[in-house]
């Protein structure tokens, strides 16, 4: 099996049906991904942003030794953004607050 984050060869364990547990020796460590999210990513051919996801896992391990990545976490902070999407979103510094006038 492959790591769902970096595609390295890893040990994947299917959980109770709601998640897959991955043990990645290449730097991602041990984590769980919700089955919903795995299915969605396969369907849309999307990928994790490796650096951001590893950082997120590191932070999450303060609370939970084997963090579960949910669909919500993925869309909020872990989805790999491609160049096309970046060009359609204006940089945040050009956005004016609605209350400015």
- Using rule CB under 5 A, residue 24 touches Zn ion: yes
From 5-13, 60-68, 75-83, 90-98, give the range in contact with Zn ion by CB under 5 A. 5-13
Q: Considering beta carbons, is residue 15 or 25 the nearer one to Zn ion? A: 25
From 21-29, 41-49, 64-72, 80-88, give the range in contact with Zn ion by CB under 5 A. 21-29
Six token digits for residue 60: 């999450």
Give the Cα separation of 66 and 61 in Å (integer): 7
Q: Is the CA virtual torsion 57, 63, 65, 68 positive or negative?
A: negative
Among 3, 37, 69, 78, binds Zn ion (CB under 5 A): 3
Q: Is the CA virtual torsion 24, 27, 31, 37 positive or negative?
A: negative
């Amino acid at each position: 099996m492959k790591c769902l984050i970096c595609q390295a060869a890893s040990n994947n364990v299917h959980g109770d049906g709601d998640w897959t547990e991955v043990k990645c020796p290449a730097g991602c460590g041990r984590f769980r991904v919700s089955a919903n999210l795995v299915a969605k990513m396969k369907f849309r051919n999307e990928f994790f942003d490796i650096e951001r996801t590893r950082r997120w896992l590191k932070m999450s391990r303060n609370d939970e030794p084997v963090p579960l990545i949910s669909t919500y976490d993925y869309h909020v902070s872990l989805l790999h953004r491609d160049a096309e999407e970046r060009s359609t979103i204006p940089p945040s510094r050009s956005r004016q607050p609605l209350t400015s006038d």
